[in-house]
Amino acid sequence: MCGIVALFSRRDPVSAATIERATRSLYHRGPDGQRQWISPDRRIGLGHARLSIIDLTTGDQPIASEDERIHIVVNGEFYDYERIQRSLEQSGHHLRTRSDSEIALHLYEDFGPECLHQLRGEFAFVLWDEANRTMFAARDRFGIKPLFYTVFNDTLYFASEIKALFAAGVPARWDAESVFHSIECGGHQMRTLYDGIFQVPPGHYVIATGKHIQIRQYWDFNYPRTDHAPARSDADYAAELRHVLEEAVRLRLRADVPVGCYLSGGLDSCAVLGLAAKHHPEPIRAFSLTFDHPDYNEEMQAKEMAAKAGAEFYPIPIRQDDLADNFAEAILQSETFCVNAHGVAKYLLSRAVRNAGYKVVLTGEGSDEILGGYPHFRRDMLLYNRNGQNPDEVAALLDNLGKSNPVSRGLLLPDGDARPLDNVRRLLGFVPSWIETSSTRAVKMQNLFSDDFAADYSLRESYRPLFSDLDVLGQLQGRDPVHQSLYLWSKTMLPNYILIMLGDRMEMAHSIEGRVPFLDHHVVEVIRSQPVTQKIHGMTEKYVLREAVHDVITDTVYRRQKHPFLSPPATLNPKEKLSVFVNDTLRGPALASIPFFSQKKVVGLLDNLNSMDEGSRVANDQILMILVSACVLHEGMRLSA
């Protein structure tokens, strides 16, 4: 993994100092080398901060084609690249490096944008095609790797992180409308919190010439319609998933540096470790976070799993003081709002991994998004896939779902009143539970809006921009409700939160490359084609995965219900350092300078916390996390309104 920068000026010469400054801001993504290239006419500039994983000696970037007419910078990994290298050489290409990154350049030479269908992995890249005077940029199918862009002073900018755009001279300003949409529904697949700065949506590419910028989609989920193919046996589905998932894990073990695993007590990371251990020549080091609150600590389950896999168990204890001390730096790396300090814990995990001498880890992210792991998907199954069930039994199951997931209250399950969602119901015929949950959080947030911000946005239909940018007819209509919920979550929360706060940004903050086998598109395309009952079987989530990896995980993990990765809320520990940090920040000058929130209302919430029951404090903790992260971003990135 690396950091990339690209500039395409339509008027003035590109400044070498600008590219160097932007690339240097991404040093944490690529401490092993920083290089830039500027075209002879000085209209194009490319920058690359390298984290060397494959081809440690000759893999420097930017990389040029044989005739020097195409130059590319890549962030990410392409898997099964050695097979493609052989094919390219057989067709007459002369490769300058043995790195996986170079295959994208030559595939583009041969196939243009269609090259993307041959690329497997997590990636974002930008190339300059001199012959066609075209800048081509692309992002992987799920948004595992970030890629942002903007146009400023007649120059098109691309970068792996927003801070690099600011370092290049792009103004640092809030986008009030995007702040509202982030609070309401987890954000938009193209917008960011910052004025004029956009993200290339997952599964899309950009073609830019001197006159035009086009954004086109090359991949989507394409869930089957409800009248799809006849069902097969459970064993067939499990074997099908086992084959592609094991291949995805095996391919991600390929590196010229040591590879470790992130391990919790959950099914996803345990499945990855169990499969990886089969294909690794020596014991894998398994890195696990531990907390001092029993409801959030999974050390026992993780240690048992490491023993089964023959892995070296490496626990990393995290306390509230650690979260407080590192909160600001982690949020500045994320460049977005957080709802729990789990991202800070992941930041600390990655730092410990780097200090242990590792650059590459396999992780379990993405499984819940494709296999219905979160409790709100099970709630959808109960509400909208009843199939003649007794209403009293459904009501009892819904009640039990809430009681058995106390840490998910307000975060993954609804808590309190929701905003009117009639527009969503008219469009889909139902309201996905995760949207209802987000709406209950949005109501709490709206109670804290400043008068001016509330006047501008409180009456807006919050989900209209999201649906206006999606192919509702082609991707949602005629699909099972749970599949619709999965699709919408994967267009919002997966790229805009999970893969940022629990993925790329927290890993690359310490130059760690996280590899995600569950988001191998071959794996996803198998899972999407399977019936929803393979994902949620009765009240058992990720059923087909449990069966597919039963032999490589512990019985404890096989039988255990989903436990979301969360750190203990600050509101549960009012005398500890994280809670003090939250209070000091929200009562201080930073919040007063942000135009979106009323400090008086926020202080009122803080003053009332002690009178709330534990469940209400847990539900309100995410509200406080959003507010504190907004303060950190406002001050740390020197944002103007």
Q: What is the pLDDT of residues 500-531, one digit of tens each?
A: 999 999 999 999 999 999 999 999 999 999 99
Instruction: Write down the number of H helices and E strands in the chain.
Output: 30, 19
Q: Within a domain: residue 182?
A: no
What is residue 12's three-state secondary structure?
A: coil
Give the tens place of pLDDT for each residue, 431-465: 999 999 999 999 999 999 999 999 998 888 778 88
Distance of CA 261 to the CA centre of its chain: 18
Is residue 346 within 8 A of residue 501, CB to CB? The reply is yes
Same domain? 204 vs 160: yes
d(C-alpha 467, C-alpha 520), whole Å: 26
**Closest to 37 in 3D by CA, of 29, 47, 24:** 47
Rg (the chain; Cα; Å): 24
What is residue 352's three-state secondary structure?
A: helix
**Closest to 306 in 3D by CA, of 588, 554, 15:** 554
Same domain? 105 vs 225: no
H/E segment holding residue 281: none
d(C-alpha 303, C-alpha 461), whole Å: 47
End-to-end CA distance of the chain, in Å? 33
**Closest to 517 in 3D by CA, of 638, 370, 391:** 370
Same domain? 242 vs 200: no
Q: Within a domain: residue 634?
A: yes
Contacts for 7 with CB less than 8 Å, ≥ 6 apart: 14, 18, 19, 44, 45, 46, 155, 156, 157, 158, 168
Note down the domain range covering 578: 220-641
**What long-range pairs does 60-63 form, CB within 8 A, spacing at least 24?**
60/33, 60/35, 60/97, 61/2, 61/35, 61/101, 62/35, 62/36, 62/37, 63/96, 63/97, 63/99, 63/101, 63/102, 63/105
pLDDT, mean over the chain: 93
Percentage, residues of the chain above pLDDT 90: 81
Is residue 174 within 8 A of residue 195, CB to CB? The reply is yes
* Length of the chain, in residues: 641
Give the tens place of pLDDT for each residue, 161-186: 999 999 999 999 999 999 999 998 88
Other Cβ atoms within 10 Å of 303 Cβ, number = 18
Same domain? 122 vs 265: no
Same domain? 443 vs 402: yes
Q: Within a domain: residue 183?
A: no
Is residue 602 within 8 A of residue 448, CB to CB? The reply is yes
Q: Which residues sit opposite 286 in a β-bridge?
A: 261, 313
Look at 16-25, 144-153, 401-410, 485-494 and tell me which has the smallest mean pLDDT. Answer: 401-410
Q: Within a domain: residue 61?
A: yes
The tokens describing 395, both together, are 């009501």
Residue type, 166: F
- CATH, residue 100: 3.60.20.10
pTM (global) more than 0.85 = yes
DSSP secondary structure of 176-220: HHHHHHHHHHS--SSB-SBTT-EEPPTTEEEEE-SS-EEEEE---
What pLDDT is recorded for position 374?
93
Same domain? 267 vs 379: yes
- Read off the pLDDT band of 154 (50, 70, 90): very high
Same domain? 141 vs 67: yes
Q: State the total domains in the chain.
A: 2
Q: Within a domain: residue 178?
A: no
d(C-alpha 233, C-alpha 256), whole Å: 40
For residue 82, is pLDDT > 80?
yes
Same domain? 212 vs 227: no
